[in-house]
Chain A
Amino acid sequence: MTTGGDDVASESDGGPGADRGDAIADRGDAIADRGAWWVVVAGPGVVCLFSLLTVPLVLGTLDARLHSPLAAPGYALFVALTVVGERVVPQFAFRLYWPPFLFCSYGVAVAGAGVGRACLCGSERLRGTARE
């Protein structure tokens, strides 16, 4: 017969209840890992950087009077792509550079956000060490 006390004892010495606890903990870790993965590929930093690179440039291409200094990073990336691309595939129409530009902007945003997170973690560790 199983009693509540047995259950308590079994959890403490590694019985079936302990397995369920590990599973819950694993699932929690998995969710946390997936969260970290999403932060890497689509976190707020990535979204902000991607928007900064693309939205001002799209506005500028709709009408040059909407071009602002905020478009400078995206503009530099776009021009760099066209310069390289024009040498590699001279017949490629310049309007077709938008998909590669968006792809590269996303890559830059992921890398930039990663660097930003690493810097933040580093500074937090330094603060923690200083407190100890």
Chain B
Amino acid sequence: MKRRAVLAAGATVAGSVAAGATLGATADGDPGPRPPSPAAETAVETGALRPGTRRETPYFEVGSGDGGPTAVVVGGVHGNEVSGYRAAERIAEWEVTDGSVVVVPWANVVAVRRNEREGPDGDLNRQFSIGGEPETPLARSLWALVAAADPDVVVDLHRSRGIYGTHGRWVGQALFPTAAGDATSDADAVADRVNEAVVPASMWAHRFRRGNTLRGTSPLLMHKVSADLDTAGVLVELTEVYLDVDTQVRWTELIAERLLSRHGIERRGSAI
């Protein structure tokens, strides 16, 4: 991983935990998103996207500190998809024993604070033009971080209303791989593993499956990862149907853990 490049992509390094602590202060008194506590044995370095603006949001790097594979995990691209950013918060607190993970828990921090899908510039996940510059400063900043990390795998955490293949246009309980690397087989293997581990057999509609492959046909972050970086990645979608938020978070974190493990990135205290 190009650690220096990653750090250069964000503006602020060191002391950002303190900066992050004020991140969530909102007018209505809601404390909002909070930064994770640095795990004792894990290297945590932080920076920020869009520093000095209302859209400033921190990112965290957790890793073994001895090189190895790198992953980028993004949550909060849609501000109302709580399980995605809460799972990312938990990942930022992992003790990673092999490799490293760059975590952006609240990519669209304004939308997260408002608990709305879109931020002031619209839907962040429709601003990653394929083959060119992303359309807005926040999208460009996030893309610069992802590209500079030179990741082995990218994971984007989301939540849908309905279930993929069951409820019309909804895409929950599915893993959408990029066309690069072994992302397709990773998605299949992780879906099977997670189904076996945590999804009860009698919850047949909630069993995870692989969605269609992302090949760069839409201006979504993971489509761009596939087409422009030619990097393995998975867009993870949970559902809100029947699942409480804590379960959504647990399962999302577990999927991320298994995906990263397939790329040699291991955490201490695996959930499975």
Question: Per-residue CB proximity of B188-218 to A under 8 Å, as 1/0?
Answer: 0000000000101111010000000000000
* A86:B167 contact, CB within 8 angstroms: yes
**Shortest Cβ distance from residue A70 to the other chain B in the assembled complex, whole angstroms:** 9
* Chain A residues close to B by CB (< 8 Å): 60-65, 67-69, 71-72, 75, 78-79, 82-83, 86-87, 90, 93-95
Write out the residue numbers on chain B whose beta carbons fall within 8 Å of the beta carbon of A82.
Answer: 162, 166-167, 241
* Chain B residues close to A by CB (< 8 Å): 161-162, 166-170, 198, 200-203, 205, 240-244, 246-247
Given A61-B242, A63-B247, A94-B161, A83–B167 Cβ distance below 8 Å?
yes
CA distance A93 to B160 in the complex (A): 12
CA distance A79 to B166 in the complex (A): 9
* A61:B202 contact, CB within 8 angstroms: no
CA distance A67 to B200 in the complex (A): 7
Q: Which residue of A lies closest to B166 (CB)?
A: A83
**Shortest Cβ distance from residue B172 to the other chain A in the assembled complex, whole angstroms:** 10
Contacts A60-B203, A67-B200, A94-B161 known; list 9 others, CB within 8 Å: A61-B244, A63-B244, A67-B202, A68-B202, A82-B166, A86-B167, A90-B169, A93-B161, A95-B240
**Looking at the complex, which one of A60, A69, A90, A94 makes contact with B240 (CB distance below 8 Å)?**
A94
Given A63-B247, A64-B200, A86–B205 Cβ distance below 8 Å?
no
CA distance A90 to B190 in the complex (A): 30
Write out the residue numbers on chain B whose beta carbons fall within 8 Å of the beta carbon of A86.
Answer: 162, 167-168, 170
**Looking at the complex, which one of A65, A75, A90, A93 makes contact with B202 (CB distance below 8 Å)?**
A75
Q: Which residue of B lies closest to A93 (CB)?
A: B161
7 smallest A-B Cβ distances: which pairs? A64-B247, A72-B202, A86-B167, A94-B241, A79-B205, A69-B202, A67-B200
**Looking at the complex, which one of B168, B170, B203, B241 makes contact with A67 (CB distance below 8 Å)?**
B203
Write out the residue numbers on chain A whose beta carbons fall within 8 Å of the beta carbon of B241.
Answer: 82, 94
Sample of 17 A–B contacts (CB below 8 Å): A60-B242, A61-B242, A62-B244, A64-B198, A64-B200, A64-B243, A64-B244, A65-B247, A69-B201, A71-B202, A82-B162, A82-B167, A83-B167, A86-B170, A93-B161, A94-B161, A94-B242
Given A82-B162, A86-B168, A63–B203 Cβ distance below 8 Å?
no
Write out the residue numbers on chain A whose beta carbons fall within 8 Å of the beta carbon of B200.
Answer: 64, 67-69
**Looking at the complex, which one of B169, B242, B244 makes contact with A78 (CB distance below 8 Å)?**
B242
CA distance A93 to B161 in the complex (A): 8
Q: Which residue of A lies closest to B240 (CB)?
A: A94
Q: Which residue of B lies closest to A73 (CB)?
A: B202
CA distance A75 to B198 in the complex (A): 17
Q: Which residue of B lies closest to A95 (CB)?
A: B240
Write out the residue numbers on chain B whose beta carbons fall within 8 Å of the beta carbon of A95.
Answer: 240
Q: Which residue of A lies closest to B198 (CB)?
A: A64
Write out the residue numbers on chain B whose beta carbons fall within 8 Å of the beta carbon of A65.
Answer: 247
Q: Which residue of B lies closest to A83 (CB)?
A: B166
**Shortest Cβ distance from residue A57 to the other chain B in the assembled complex, whole angstroms:** 8
Write out the residue numbers on chain B whose beta carbons fall within 8 Å of the beta carbon of A63.
Answer: 244, 246-247
Most chain A Cβ neighbours within 10 Å, of B167, B200, B242, B247: B242
Write out the residue numbers on chain A whose beta carbons fall within 8 Å of the beta carbon of B203.
Answer: 60, 64, 67, 75
CA distance A23 to B242 in the complex (A): 54
Q: Which residue of A lies closest to B243 (CB)?
A: A64
**Shortest Cβ distance from residue A86 to the other chain B in the assembled complex, whole angstroms:** 5
Write out the residue numbers on chain A whose beta carbons fall within 8 Å of the beta carbon of B242.
Answer: 60-61, 75, 78, 94
